[in-house]
């Protein structure tokens, strides 16, 4: 049995070593997943998480994140949060400092301020150019200021895009520490050009994130609406309670999500880690992989995800 393990979606590579260092020095799974996630949130090259995330239809970067503690099954989450670089740490404060599980929008931003988090401009020039370019492609006669889109954003909902395309995606970190505790962190800027206020699976416990020391932890990337409808992360862990292997539990949960119809796309990828340190990943798209480290690996290792069904 592994002494410690951390696994992450492929865009978690930038935070892998930091997360493994926490575990190697005897730190908790909770600290490890937060540390790994923060580095992805600060990576301006990743247009699907934190700083540099592509904005909603009216040009605002709105972030979703959650953290789960498998020891207590406590959870903290923030949704549609604007103006803070580290939603994962704010989610952890929600878990540790409030009687609540999920704070959204203005309330989440207010709480972040009260907890001493510093405000940040998250819309990078590159992300702004991409957003404006996409909207100008729709209407070449557009006047400066993009005001029309602020007044009629719903007209442009066909522009909304899966954060896994073309690269990167929501980030998942799952860890097992030397004390046998599991934790899971998920952070995202959600679908590009989403309607303002849209919330995906990432901050919804049971949908995009779940951890229970007794059975395992699971997390999702891809079309969050599917993971919400199929309660996918909890579904993986439920299958583990019935004695399935990690891989079989993931297959069953993804097959269930795959059976849902969705006109906006059905791409979904899952990761899971059990209390023995066994882990696996599945995706309904070919070519997806994940990364992991344990006490025997000096460098992050890459693993191909098994393809289950076909997403769009």
- 3-state secondary structure at position 159: helix
d(CA 26, CA 76): 23
Nearer to ligand GLY (CB atom), residue 163 or residue 277: 163
**139 contacts: CB under 8 Å, gap ≥ 6:** 148
Q: How far is the CB of 35 from ligand GLY (least distance, A)?
A: 21
- 92 burial class (0-12, 13-18, 19+ CB within 10 angstroms)? buried
The answer to whether 143 and 70 have CB atoms below 8 angstroms apart is no
Distance of CA 256 to the CA centre of its chain: 20
Of the two residues 15 and 200, which places its CB atom closer to ligand GLY in the complex? 200
The beta strand positions in 27-157, using DSSP E, are 63-69, 74-81, 102-104
Residues that bind ligand GLY (CB under 6 A): 163, 170, 188, 190-191, 200-202, 208, 220-224
For residue 56, what are its two tokens? 């909603």
Residue 6 CB, shortest distance to ligand GLY, in Å, is 20
Strand partners, 216: 212
Residue (17 or 223) nearer to ligand GLY, CB: 223
- In angstroms, how far is the first alpha carbon of the chain from the final one? 37
Distance of closest approach, residue 80 Cβ to ligand GLY, in angstroms: 11
Nearer to ligand GLY, 23 or 57 (CB): 57
- Using CA atoms, how far residue 81 sits from 76, 181, 199, in Å, is 14, 29, 10
Q: Which is nearer to ligand GLY, 60 or 278 (CB)?
A: 60
**How many angstroms separate the CA atoms of 42 and 24, rounded?**
23
Rounded distance, CA 40 to CA 34, Å? 10
Q: Enumerate the active-site residues.
A: 170
């Amino acid at each position: 049995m592994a002494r410690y393990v951390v696994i992450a979606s492929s865009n978690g590579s930038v935070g892998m070593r930091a997360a493994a260092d926490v575990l190697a020095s005897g730190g908790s799974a909770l600290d490890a997943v937060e540390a790994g996630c923060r580095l992805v949130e600060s990576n301006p090259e990743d247009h699907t998480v934190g700083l540099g995330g592509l904005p909603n239809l009216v040009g605002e970067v709105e972030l979703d994140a959650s953290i789960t503690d498998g020891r207590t099954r406590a959870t903290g989450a923030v949704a549609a949060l604007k103006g803070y670089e580290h939603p994962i740490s704010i989610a952890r404060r929600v878990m540790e400092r409030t009687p609540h599980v999920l704070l959204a929008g203005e309330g989440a931003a207010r709480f972040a301020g009260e907890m001493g988090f510093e405000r940040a401009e998250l819309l990078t020039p590159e992300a702004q150019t991409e957003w404006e370019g996409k909207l100008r492609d729709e209407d070449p006669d557009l006047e400066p200021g993009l005001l029309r889109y602020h007044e009629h954003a719903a007209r442009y909902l066909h522009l909304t895009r899966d954060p896994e395309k073309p690269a990167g995606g929501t980030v998942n970190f799952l860890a097992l520490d030397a004390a046998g505790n599991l934790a899971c962190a998920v952070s995202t800027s959600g679908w590009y050009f989403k309607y303002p206020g849209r919330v995906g699976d990432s901050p919804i416990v049971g949908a995009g994130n779940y951890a229970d020391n007794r059975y395992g932890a699971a997390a999702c990337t891809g079309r969050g609406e599917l993971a919400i409808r199929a309660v996918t992360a909890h579904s993986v862990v439920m299958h583990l309670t019935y004695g399935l292997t990690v891989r079989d539990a993931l297959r069953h949960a993804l097959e269930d999500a795959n059976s849902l119809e969705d006109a906006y796309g059905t791409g979904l990828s899952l990761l899971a880690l059990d209390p023995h340190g066994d882990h696996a990943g599945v995706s309904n798209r070919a070519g997806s992989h994940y990364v992991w480290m344990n006490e025997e690996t000096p460098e992050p290792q890459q693993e191909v995800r098994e393809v289950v069904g076909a997403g769009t």
